[in-house]
Chain A
Amino acid sequence: MADDSARGETSYVVIESGKTSLRDLYTKEDWMAIWMGFLILIVGLFIFVPRPPANMDADFTKYKGVMSEEAAKAPFKTIAWHKASAARKKISAGNEDYAKSLKSFLAAPSDWSSNPLDALYFSQEAADAKNAAAKEAFDKAKAAEEAALAKAEASEAAAAAAAFKDEALNKAAEDDIKAWTAATDKASKAKSKAGAKPFNRFPFLIGLAVALALFFGAGKAIMGESFGAFLPGFFFVFVLAVLAYMAETQALMKHWGFGFPLWAIVFGMLISNTIGTPKWVVPAVQTEYYIKTGLVLLGAEILFSKMLAIGKPGIFVAWICTPITLILTYWFGQRILKMPSKTLNITISADMSVCGVSAAIATAAACRAKKEELTLAIGLSMIFTAVCMVGQPAFAKLVGMPEILAGAWMGSTIDSTGAVAAAGAFYGQKALYVAATIKMIQNVLIGVTAFCVAIYWCTKVDCVPGKKVSGWEIWYRFPKFVLGFIAASIVFSLMFNTLGDDYSTAVLDQGVIRSFSRLLREWFFALAFTSIGLETNFQEFKPHFKGGKPATLYIFGQTFQLSLTLLVGYIMFYIVFPEITASL
């Protein structure tokens, strides 16, 4: 087993003691994180489930009926088919007024470019000026959309007049409809840019800070710790988390994908390695507490039905290539590179092969990696993500890769989930949709990865070689919050399947998760990363850079994944399941 004496001197993402009792249920952070995470999810269900969008069922039936009729009528997706599909997507609990209010309260700071205050306060005059500047582009996009629609309608009418039997007319109509959907998308984005509204985030952020301080402080008090000592320090950590968000939303950093986790660690380390973390802040520097609660919430977002989102080829690309890469990279790190830290090895392997920061957090917590190891994995991931985000679509264009294959390749190999969308959009609309969907399927893997890593570490890594481990021993060592993480995933996946795809997407996915729990989950991770920074010394990184092993491991794994995914993607989308590719 890992050296316990060393544990007292080292900052781990998660620490487990070798005892258990019923009192643990309300005195241990693992269990408290589970109850607090569940409480948030239950509150979310109480808010959204009784308030679905008006006429939801009737609207779903109507739009599905239109798509069904249009699909049977023509050999291509007609204008009416696309309009019905778009209208169906808009049925969302997240668009209801109460959900919008909730999102305003929980929202992170907004985008800005040169004045940081723009992230928190935007006056009516500034909004008017922004809208006026964007109006010309919107008018142009709107006119282009109308022209494209008129052309598409004429082409479709011509194809219909020939009873959809003339292939040339069908092809012309399909191309014109595709051009119209692209123009519609552009006009929609231009409209949102021309519709900026004034805001003042200060009252919301103060309210949110107080609410979160009371929430986490109450948990601390139940666990027998000082509520009064926790409270003042929490506001300090929260302010740094807000600054981390503001660094993320700065225009240039947004373009490079440098998100709040990196900035939260940087800002925390700036404090702790210069003037030092003030003593009164320390009770609120609670990495494990925030990260475990956030991970329980993340569990609810791991919906197993999403695995089938793009059919069998998606499962092969995301669920075959990823575990192979993960295991091979870990093996390479241990056997070839001989990395001294297994936890760093598995955290980088998961981060690189699964889905970047979120996988790194879950894996580091499951194997009890050191905080600087998680930081290092995230730093590597962000640097390589920035390179791949620009390099991969450029390479795909250079070799003339088909859009679906490029989307699948980028979706499965670029670490960061958001960067996948950017790279996909760089290539085209279909590439964006396929890339984002493949990444979504891959995201689901982090539940399985975290669970398997936790089991493997309890039963193999943290053992004396040759000594048999009892079931109780495994239980003592097992990070209990992983049970909450898995339970949340199973419960929400079952609810998703039981309530039906339409209802679940509109109310659970768009409502409970996207409009409520995931916003809180992001804040919890921001607080956790700030805490990591406030606890980390620059000196702790030195041993890990020896011989450049982390970077070598990353480059090896990424190169293998790029090659394997391209090969499997081509085989699955173009040889084994070409009919699915043709339908997209």
Chain B
Amino acid sequence: MDPWQTHTSNTSRGAQAPREGLRPWLKLAAGVAAVLLFIFGIGTLASHLPGAKHMAEVIEERDLRATAIFYTDFKESSEGSEYIRDCLQYPPGRMPRTE
């Protein structure tokens, strides 16, 4: 079986482009090059935007995961909520609450 024999069913339309010859592979190489250019080229240039450098320093210094998609994906959500819980349950200068 040709390992690069491609799928052409109607439910996966992404696989319908021409797949023979060198051209598809050149397109793939160009796509990979564009991704690398974006990551290392534009990413580097964008870091010179106002505020971006400081933001990057904050993220690095605190080791934040700025890409997290849910609160359980980074520890600051639990640190923050537990700190706030302590602040609300044991507020200074008042009689402690009974739990």
Interface residues in chain A, defined as those with a beta carbon under 8 Å from any beta carbon in chain B: 8-9, 11, 64, 67-72, 74-78, 81, 85, 88-89, 185-186, 189, 192-193, 247-248, 250-261, 266-282, 285, 298, 301, 306, 309-311, 355-358, 389-391, 393-394, 416-419, 421-422, 424-426, 432-437, 439-440, 443, 501, 505, 509-510, 513-514, 518, 522, 525, 533-537, 539-540, 580, 583-584
Q: Are A301 and B72 touching (Cβ within 8 A)?
A: yes
Complex Cα distance, B9 from A11, in Å, reads 11
Complex Cα distance, B76 from A320, in Å, reads 24
Q: Are A285 and B31 touching (Cβ within 8 A)?
A: no
Interface residues in chain B, defined as those with a beta carbon under 8 Å from any beta carbon in chain A: 1, 3-7, 9-17, 19, 24-25, 27-28, 31-32, 35, 39-40, 43-44, 46-47, 49-52, 54-56, 58-74, 76-96, 99
A557 to chain B, nearest CB (A): 19
Q: Are B94 and A72 touching (Cβ within 8 A)?
A: yes
Q: Are B54 and A270 touching (Cβ within 8 A)?
A: no
State the 4 A-B residue pairs at the shortest beta-carbon distance, nearest first. Answer: A418-B68, A276-B6, A259-B67, A433-B80
Q: Which residues of A contact B16 (CB under 8 A)?
A: 276, 537
Q: Are B25 and A437 touching (Cβ within 8 A)?
A: no
B73 to chain A, nearest CB (A): 7
Complex Cα distance, B34 from A274, in Å, reads 14
Known: A186-B61, A270-B32. A279 touches B25 (CB 8 A): no
- How many residue pairs link A and B with beta carbons under 8 A? The number is 294
Q: Which residues of A contact B84 (CB under 8 A)?
A: 309-310, 433-434, 437, 584
Q: Are A280 and B3 touching (Cβ within 8 A)?
A: yes
Q: Which residues of A contact B1 (CB under 8 A)?
A: 279-280
Known: A186-B61, A535-B11, A535-B13. A418 touches B91 (CB 8 A): no
Known: A68-B96, A247-B39, A426-B55. A278 touches B5 (CB 8 A): yes
Q: Which residues of A contact B70 (CB under 8 A)?
A: 298, 301, 355, 358, 417, 443, 518
Q: Which residues of B contact A355 (CB under 8 A)?
A: 69-70
B83 to chain A, nearest CB (A): 5
CB closest chain-B residue, reference A540 = B13
Q: Which residues of A contact B35 (CB under 8 A)?
A: 247, 266-267, 270
Q: Which residues of A contact B58 (CB under 8 A)?
A: 422, 425-426
CB closest chain-B residue, reference A582 = B91
A197 to chain B, nearest CB (A): 15
B6 to chain A, nearest CB (A): 3
A425 to chain B, nearest CB (A): 5
Q: Which residues of B contact A78 (CB under 8 A)?
A: 92
Q: Which residues of A contact B14 (CB under 8 A)?
A: 268-269, 272-273, 277, 533-537, 540
B34 to chain A, nearest CB (A): 9
Q: Which residues of A contact B99 (CB under 8 A)?
A: 64
CB closest chain-A residue, reference B63 = A189
Known: A252-B44, A276-B17. A72 touches B88 (CB 8 A): no
A280 to chain B, nearest CB (A): 6
Q: Which residues of A contact B4 (CB under 8 A)?
A: 275-276, 278
Q: Which residues of A contact B5 (CB under 8 A)?
A: 278-280
Residue among A88, A247, A278, A518 with most chain B CB within 10 A: A278
Known: A248-B67, A259-B67. A437 touches B13 (CB 8 A): no
Q: Which residues of A contact B85 (CB under 8 A)?
A: 309, 501
Complex Cα distance, B69 from A509, in Å, reads 17
CB closest chain-B residue, reference A391 = B51
B98 to chain A, nearest CB (A): 9
Q: Are A421 and B74 touching (Cβ within 8 A)?
A: yes
B63 to chain A, nearest CB (A): 6
Q: Which residues of B contact A393 (CB under 8 A)?
A: 51, 55
Q: Are A272 and B15 touching (Cβ within 8 A)?
A: yes
B71 to chain A, nearest CB (A): 4
A27 to chain B, nearest CB (A): 19
Q: Are B86 and A252 touching (Cβ within 8 A)?
A: no
Q: Are A434 and B63 touching (Cβ within 8 A)?
A: no
